[in-house]
Amino acid sequence: MDEIIKRRTLRLSESSSERRGTNIGDKLSAMDGVKSVSLDRGVVNLEYDLRKVQLSDIEDAITRAGHSLLNTLPARLKRAVVRTLEKNEFDNMTQPPSSCCSNPRGIVDATKKGH
């Protein structure tokens, strides 16, 4: 199947962006599905395949690495919306196709007979 590439920009909290400890780029690059990671002054730019990894997984990896994301209301809301959209998109693409009703053949057959 084709990849579903997502591009995201995440901002680290001020204390995390100043910290030199664990390299977030290495941790994120090692994740299956992450295509590219770049860091610049507390800003993390990512490309990843939604079929393999979602924003929630990336946020968890950043937290496990000892860093935190920007915690302002707009930043939290934006990430929450993105997580919801990604979950819905992932759920929709993993569901088997379904018809619009329980008996589409019956409807098609009835219209052919002139009913």
CA distance 106 to 115: 11
* pTM for this prediction: 0.76
Helix (H) or strand (E) holding 45: strand 43-49
Digits of tens for pLDDT over the chain (115 positions)? 689 999 999 999 987 655 654 588 889 999 999 999 999 888 999 999 999 999 999 999 999 988 999 999 999 999 999 999 999 999 988 887 776 666 656 555 555 555 5
What are the sequence ranges of the domains in the chain? Answer: 5-112
Side-chain-side CA neighbours of 50 within 13 Å: the count stands at 19
What is the CATH T-level fold of the domain 5-112, as seen in this structure? Answer: Alpha-Beta Plaits (3.30.70)
CA distance 51 to 104: 31
At residue 16, the pLDDT reads: 66
CA distance 98 to 100: 7
